[in-house]
Amino acid sequence: MIKLNCLIVDDEPIARNLLEGYIGRIPEVLLVKKCKNATEAYEALHETSIDLIFLDIQMPTITGTEFLRSLRRPPLVVFTTAFANFAVEGFELNSVDYLLKPITFERFYQAVQKAIDRKTPLHPQPMPETPDYIFIKQDSKLVRIDHADIDFLRAEKDFCWIFCGGEVKYFVSMHLKMLEEMLPANKFQRIHRSYLVNLSKIKALKGNTLALRSEEIPIGANYRQLLMEKLGL
């Protein structure tokens, strides 16, 4: 029997508890974690192999659709939302199903069966196109930043600075780990617990210091070997 590891991502406790009860009634799905926001979901995806996410759309800081677009290799997704106007976007993102709240068990069960069908060899999930940009929130609006424009990212407690073009910088309410998950691993490398750099922007290395334009960034001892491998050194 197929068994799908799943996440619930919803900022409403009542909705999380309802879906947890539904999952408990279906032997083919196993709840790994309940998450109240995208940050917790990124952490869960980093820690465990997840097959299916039950994903709310209207959440603070990062919406469900923004979260899904940021993943390089997303699991199967069933959207769970109170808003019908996101349905077209949801299916454009190759979601398994789109459930409108209040969600009945019968409708939930149908969505799970669709996910199981997607997981069988006869129904492989097509790989979505990976975007070459990210969206971040600045002053109540979403701002697009192309990967190629980013020089490096620096963590500051629970926030991050994104440095672009040597001068432009953005301050975002996101963990560095979350942004690392959103950016392509073949282009960006963690070089310190507080720094993530665009490999194409590296100008020089000297000892335990890396130069990017006019910036000098420390290289953490735990990250040096992997950085050298990435650079072919």
Q: Which residues contact 117 (CB under 8 A, 6 or more apart)?
A: 123
Alpha helix stretches (DSSP H) within 102-186 = 105-119, 176-182
User: What is d(CA 66, CA 177) in angstroms, rounded to the nearest whole number?
Assistant: 16
Would you state the structure tokens that stand for residue 82, as one six-digit string?
């109170």
Contact present, 29 and 64 (Cβ < 8 Å): no
Contact present, 152 and 195 (Cβ < 8 Å): yes
Cβ atoms within 10 A of the Cβ of 129, count? Answer: 6
The predicted structure's pLDDT at residue 47: 87
Quote the crossing angle between the two packed helices 105-119 and 13-24, to the nearest 10°.
Answer: 70
What backbone phi and psi angles, to 5 degrees, belong to 41? -65, -40
The predicted structure's pLDDT at residue 133: 85
The predicted structure's pLDDT at residue 27: 93
For the beta sheet containing 76-81, the strands, ordered from the edge strand earlier in sequence to the opposite edge, are: 29-35, 4-9, 52-55, 76-81, 97-100
Residue 103: alpha-carbon gap to chain centroid: 25
In the block, residue with structure tokens 């990062």:
62
Q: Which residues contact 16 (CB under 8 A, 6 or more apart)?
A: 8, 10, 34, 36
- β-pair type (29-35, 76-81): unpaired
pLDDT along the chain (233 residues), means of 10: 90 95 94 93 90 93 88 91 76 86 94 89 55 81 87 90 85 86 88 93 89 86 87 79
User: What is d(CA 7, CA 22) in angstroms, rounded to the nearest whole number?
Assistant: 13
The CA-atom distances, in angstroms, between 3 and each of 27, 29, 118, 154, 173 are 8, 5, 13, 39, 35
The predicted structure's pLDDT at residue 123: 52
